[in-house]
Copies of this chain bind each other. A is one copy, B any other.
Amino acid sequence: MRKRKVNVAVVGVTGAVGQEMLQVLEKRRFPINQLLPLASKRSAGKRVRFKGKNLTIRELTRSSFNEIDFALFSAGGDISRKFAPLAVKAGAVVVDNSSAFRMDKNVPLIVPEINGADTQKHNGIIANPNCTTAITLMALYPLHKAFGVKRIFASTYQAVSGSGAQGIAELEAQVKALASGRKIKKAVYPHQIAFNALPHVDSFLKNGYTKEEMKLENEGRKIMHHTRFKASSTCVRIPVYRAHSVAVNAEFTKLVSVSKARRAIKNAPGIDLMDDVKNDLYPLALNMAEKDNCAVGRIRTDCAMKNGLSFWVVGDQILKGAALNAVQIAELIATEI
């Protein structure tokens, strides 16, 4: 399959996703010749561990991408907009984790288990979807294939690591401060996240939804090739460290059944069925953290709509929602090089 080992740059290597990308590349034995860890000037000179060796982080510059085959970007939209085209010009294929190019019609937006074939039409940049979108679609797409989804209503229970290492640090610090009676500090979130639920992820749009909430519909349409798919979401940050949970009510065009739905999930790649309420079995953020696969449970016929199913899907948003999915995309391309 793979014809030669490749040179891989990780842009934003000090972030939560960047760190995880290194681990995923190592664990999945991605055929790497040379790994180039890139970050801002502030982090240049520091070391990162990869395959038992310490690598020196280099500053991201316009000339970082000479002789790079793959550049995995996870340093925010502005960095991607500026440097991804330079990486492409230098001959690299970019897998971008930011939202910068996701809705660009010249850029494939990929969940390998769903629309991996779309990578064939790339022009140098391939986009990695929003984390909540990727996790929700891992459960929804097999059901869509079975029953034809029309629309969904989704409410999320999102972990603080979705805001990067600072999100984790803020929750930890607030829990500690409260335990010792000190005042809490806020920087990442506009309100206390410890022992609270914030219906506010990403910035607000004119229609009253947040950007994060509309991604499920917009990115969902592109990934599933389903232009009329509708999704109304409420995205909520909760005091969980890792893995996002999503409660979904989905309406389909065809007659649904729970047993058929379970079978569809069982036969789908990358998603586990964890659905035995008699034994208190359903996916939990705590158990799905650091797992490659997502999991779905609480599958039931929706009592408020015809052809409806309700379910609960959980996935590690740093893995399937970001680093793992990005490396999976790179694997698809690597087979072509």
Contact = CB atoms under 8 A, between A and B. Distances in A.
B238 A157 contact: yes
Interface in A179-212: 179, 190-192, 195-200, 204, 207-209
Nearest to A171: B195
A175 interface: yes
Contact of A232 (B190, B207, B209, B303): B303
A171 B207 CA distance: 37
B157 A191 contact: no
B284 A198 contact: yes
Contact of A277 (B204, B245, B247, B277): B204
Interface string A234-271: 10101111000101010000000010000000000000
Contacts of A300: 207-209
A153 B251 CA distance: 12
B151 A239 contact: no
Interface in A275-330: 277-278, 280, 282, 284-286, 297-305, 308, 310, 312
A197 B234 contact: no
How big is chain A's contact interface, by range? Answer: 35 or more
Given A234-B310, A298-B208, A310-B234, A196 B304 contact: no
A163 interface: no
B280 A200 contact: yes
Contact of A230 (B208, B278, B303): B303
A7 interface: no
Question: Chain A contact residues: over half helix, strand or loop, or mixed?
Answer: mixed
A152 interface: yes
Nearest to A172: B179
A191 B280 CA distance: 9
A157 B236 contact: yes
A125 B45 CA distance: 74
A68 interface: no
Given A240-B195, A240-B196, A300-B208, A153 B284 contact: no
A148 B225 CA distance: 35
A69 interface: no
Given A179-B176, A277-B204, A304-B153, A285 B196 contact: yes
Given A197-B245, A199-B245, 17 more contacts: A153-B153, A155-B247, A157-B157, A196-B284, A196-B285, A196-B286, A207-B301, A207-B303, A208-B310, A209-B310, A230-B305, A232-B249, A232-B303, A232-B305, A232-B308, A238-B239, A249-B249
30 contacts: A153-B153, A155-B234, A175-B175, A175-B179, A191-B280, A191-B286, A195-B239, A197-B240, A197-B285, A199-B245, A199-B247, A199-B282, A199-B297, A199-B298, A199-B312, A204-B277, A207-B300, A208-B299, A209-B310, A214-B303, A230-B305, A231-B303, A232-B249, A232-B310, A234-B247, A234-B249, A234-B298, A238-B240, A239-B240, A249-B249
Interface of A: 151-153, 155, 157, 175-176, 179, 190-192, 195-200, 204, 207-209, 214, 217, 230-232, 234, 236, 238-241, 245, 247, 249, 258, 277-278, 280, 282, 284-286, 297-305, 308, 310, 312
